[in-house]
Structures are given as structure tokens and as C-alpha cells.
Amino acid sequence: MYTAKENRYEMMKYNRCGRSGLLLPTVSLGLWHNFGDTSNYYNMVSLCTTAFDNGITHFDLANNYGPEAGAAERNFGKILKEYLLPYRDELIISTKAGYDMWPGPYGDHGSRKYLIASLDQSLKRMGLDYVDIFYHHRPDPDTPLEETMLALADIVRAGKALYVGLSNYDGNRLEQATAILEDLRVPFIINQNRYNILDRTIEKNGLKETSKKLGKGIICFSPLAQGMLTDRYFNGIPADSRVKTDGRFLKKDQISEDKIANLKKMNEIASDRGQTLAEMALAWCLKDDAITSVIIGASKTAQILDNIKAANNTVFTDEELKAIDKLI
């Protein structure tokens, strides 16, 4: 029988999510990779219990995480039932809908039918009555924004989610959505977007600035740029790299000799700070109060423990920031 460590909350810093009452750990665990049916179940258990033992209370999923789609939620539901259920009120569990999930015209995008049906399926897979945060996973230009936002409102009113979030929206779309959700009195508190040293899209499309202005939190996915912001590619592409095993999100042509040379220089900056490149990359995301949390992925428990260290040193000098900027 699993019993969580008594000192788990001493291991982690918690940030307020925008102007809401919810606190999130600076480091959250994402189940995008390594929780599908091709992964070892007992390793999944070790990842989740190690995370919780070290103060990670937030577990982030989506309807189509796998493989196969839905497998991550189903496997997490089993872990929850067998290990974490006594701690349910100490957990933040989030899921999303917005990408392709099942065949036909009703299993994708942002319609009311899709979002409500998808969440019902997610709750069944995880064995839950509600999730803490439910996201629309991506903007849908072909569905009226009012329809999507009203679906999120009704999901909260039905007791199926405590809070709602938006993922992959830009600043302009965020502002429009916020106006609708505030009129509907919905607890919309968070945006989930890709953000890392190498990808600063949310600074260019207004999402970061607008979120702060509106009092919404931001949680970053891919803070390590699918492994590029580690030492993993310093000596070539490993056989088990996502470049070779997947290739959808990190492509071989992104890992050029010039890019690796700059990443090695970035690693020297990290070393001077007493950090690994990965730790510095996570710390860089967390360096200002616009960012509530970073979502890490892990295949080994040691990676979780290493990543948690990043929250201990998030202060950068101007010289360090300028040196990093020159290398992107």
C-alpha cells in the first residue's frame, strides 16, 4: 500500500494561478509521453508517486494522449484508484479536448457536442466525477467562440470541472474568450502554451502580456523543447530519441551542427550558474511571475528529481539573459 511522504510539501514552491485562489506547483507532471499502452505500467506508477512524494500535485492529461488515444487517461485512472485515491483532494488533475479523438465530424475541434462528450469519456476513463481544470485544447476558427465558451461554462455548472483553461490561443483570441467567460461568470484561470528559450511565440503573439493583464496564469508545455534544451543531442541523435521514434514534434533538420554548438555554449552559462542546461531552461521559464508552472515529461524518476531543482534558482542577471538571447 502506497503512503505519501509526510514532508512532500516542503519539496516544492507553489505559485498562485493568475488572480485566482488556486495554487499550482512550479513543476507539474505531464502525461503526454510515457503513459500510453506501449509503456511499462509500474514505471508509470513510480513516476506519479515520485512526483507526488516531492510536492508535484498537478497531473496534466488530454483526451488523446497515448498511444492509443485515451490510454494515458485510462492508465492514470488505474494509478489513481490503486495508489493516489486517498489523496484526491490534494491533487490537481487536468485534461483537454480540441484535437482529433474519434472518427467522424464530432470528434475534433470546438463544438459543444465534442467538448461535452469528450469530457464525459475522459471522466469515465479516469474514474472521476470531476477534473480540476478542463481546457479547450486549441482555437477553432470555424466554430463560434461563444459556442465553445458556453460549453465550458456549462461543464463547470454541471460539476464536471472546477476551473477551465485555454490552450494554444493567442493574445487576441484570449481577450475575446475572456470577455465571454467573464460575462458567463466562469472560473477561467489558466492558459497552456508552448514556451521555452528557443520558442518564444507567446511573447510575439501577445499571449504572455495579455494573460498577465487579465490576471490569468500560464503553464508552459515543452519547456525543454522536446529534449533539445538538455545535453541529450550533444554527441549525435540517440537511437531512442523522439526524432527517430516519432518525428512529429522534433525533426532531424532542427538539430543542426550550428544549433548544437550554440546549445553547448548555453550549457556553459548553465554550468556557471551551478545548473544543468535542462535545469536552467526550466528556471528561465519560471523567472518572472507571468508563468505559474512548467509541465515536465519524464521516463525516469531521476528526471523528475532533477527537474524539481530548477525551481530553486530562477533569478538571472541581465548579462546571463543577454548571453542566452544571443544563442537562440
pLDDT at residue number 312: 86
Residue 147's pLDDT band (cuts 50, 70, 90): very high
Rounded average pLDDT over 61-68: 97
**Does the structure show a pLDDT above 70 at 251?**
no
Query: Which CATH number goes with the domain that contains 176?
Result: 3.20.20.100
The answer to whether residue 63 is domain-embedded is yes
pLDDT at residue number 270: 97
**Does the structure show a pLDDT above 80 at 248?**
no
Q: Please state the pTM of the whole predicted model.
A: 0.94
Q: Per-residue b/e over 121-159, b at no fewer than 16 CB within 10 Å?
A: bbbebbebeebbbbbbbbbbeebebeebbbbbbebbeee
The answer to whether residue 270 is domain-embedded is no
**Does the structure show a pLDDT above 60 at 290?**
yes
pLDDT at residue number 43: 98
pLDDT digits (tens, 9 = 90+) for 179-228: 999 999 999 999 999 999 999 999 999 999 999 999 999 999 999 998 99
The answer to whether residue 259 is domain-embedded is no
The answer to whether residue 201 is domain-embedded is yes
Rounded average pLDDT over 271-283: 96
How is 170-204 classified by DSSP, letter by letter? Answer: -HHHHHHHHHHHHHTT--EEEEEEE-BTTB-HHHH
DSSP-based three-state secondary structure for 134: strand
152 with 169: CB under 8 angstroms? no
The answer to whether residue 320 is domain-embedded is no
Q: First-to-last CA distance in the chain? A: 47
Q: What angle do CA 38, 29, 208 make, to 5 degrees?
A: 125
The answer to whether residue 189 is domain-embedded is yes
pLDDT digits (tens, 9 = 90+) for 33-57: 999 999 999 999 999 999 999 999 9
CA distance 106 to 118: 10
Domain extent, residue 154, equals 8-252+284-311
The answer to whether residue 279 is domain-embedded is no
CA distance 222 to 193: 9
**Does the structure show a pLDDT above 80 at 242?**
no
299 with 274: CB under 8 angstroms? no
pLDDT at residue number 232: 85
% of the chain beyond a pLDDT of 90: 89
pLDDT at residue number 282: 97
Q: Taking Cα atoms as reference points, which of 255, 315, 321, 257 lies closest to residue 289?
A: 315
pLDDT at residue number 194: 98
pLDDT at residue number 207: 98
**Does the structure show a pLDDT above 90 at 7?**
yes
The answer to whether residue 274 is domain-embedded is no
Q: What are phi and psi of 188, to 5 degrees?
A: -90, 120
Q: Into how many domains does the chain fold?
A: 1
293 with 51: CB under 8 angstroms? no
